Structure 1
Amino acid sequence: MGYQDKQCEERDVVAFHARLSKDQKNLKEKDIVVFGTVTLNTAKAYNPTTGKFTAPNKGHYSFTWTIASSPGARFSTQLVINSKPVSYCHVDGKTGGNNYETGSSTVILKMEKNDVVSILVYGAGELALWDWSSFSGFKL
């Protein structure tokens, strides 16, 4: 008997992380928030052009997104799976002071192959700051 160090095979990993590539200003209700600067996309399941994640296979997935906004601006979002709302995140820089505000949300979903997840504007989409706002996910 002996110990054997084995690496996880990359082909089984589904994970991505992306940031806004520019400020998002005055978006309308249900516009997709496109996180265009990708830092990780192992299964190529996240599309930085459309802002959509498509499950490459069935399983449980975890998603987290963070939105940053400047003083005087609001930005509310919802995570949707196949166009159905699942979770929300609200950032309100209008509530006082000169503070930059951030909000984050995390959700775990049971997904089928080809289910689609995206972040949509929910109500106010005044200003989301690039590089400070991100979207990530991975298969458990």
Structure 2
Amino acid sequence: MSFALLVKVTAHETPQQVVTRYNNYKAICNGMGYENVRCKDPIAFQSSLTKQLQNMKNQETVIFDKVSLNEGNAYDHISGIFTSPLDGIYSFTWTTLTKSGKIFLTEIVLNGKKVVLNHTDGRGHDGNPMSTSHANIKMKKGDKVWIRTHGTNGQFAHAYWCFFSGSKL
């Protein structure tokens, strides 16, 4: 909830009196539960793979190591983990590309618990199948989200065609 307050300056008030009156109004509004509205720094990241991934283990973290955007510095390109700097709802999207005859199944996890799956299956197909999944996740400050393989189906993922991104709504 937000509350806008206009302070009228009269000819009889000094600048210090105006500031004091404003601070008094602000204290009253805060006491009533109104929040100060201000611009907030964005939290958003965009990352991709720079190398092919093959024969990954069950629930192995997919590390999207090339970061092209990391506003708020919440994504760690070494661990592949996004750590929420603030409570809120975050939007995540990830895309994987495999090759003919291979499969690459992934899942996004919140603090180690599966949220949504992504199924990229090139078995019985020519070409390079691609799939994208999306999840909106309610997070608390310090919660962690990452992409990991689902089962032992991390057979092959192409470099430069796999992405992971997120932002705070």
Instruction: Return the letter of the residue paired with 1:110.
Output: K
Q: Number of aligned residue pairs: give it.
A: 131
Of 163, 166, 169 in structure 2, the residue corresponding to residue 134 of structure 1 is 163
- Distance in 2 between the 1:81 and 1:71 partners? 31
Question: Which structure has the greater CA radius of gyration?
Answer: 2
CA distance in 2, matches of 1:13, 1:24: 31
Cα deviation 1:64-93 (Å, max 9, x = unaligned): 000000111100000000001000001111
Displacement after TM superposition at 1:95 (Å): 2.4
Higher normalized helix content (fraction of residues): 2
Q: Which of structures 1 and 2 has the larger relative contact order (alpha carbons within 8 angstroms, sep 6+)?
A: 1
What does residue 117 of structure 1 align with?
Answer: 145
Q: Does 1:61 align with 2:90?
A: yes
User: How many percent of aligned residue pairs carry the same amino acid?
Assistant: 39
Q: Structure 1-normalised TM-score?
A: 0.91
- Give the SS at the match of 2:142: coil
Indicate the residue corresponding to 1:32 in structure 2: 61
Q: TM-score, normalised by structure 2?
A: 0.75
| Greater share of residues in strand | 1
Alpha-carbon distance in 2 for matches of 1:101, 1:19: 17
Gaps of 5+ in 1: 1-7
1:18 paired residue number: 47
Show structure 1 runs of 4+ deviating over 3 A: none
Computed over aligned residues only, the root mean square deviation of the Cα atoms, in angstroms, reads: 1.2
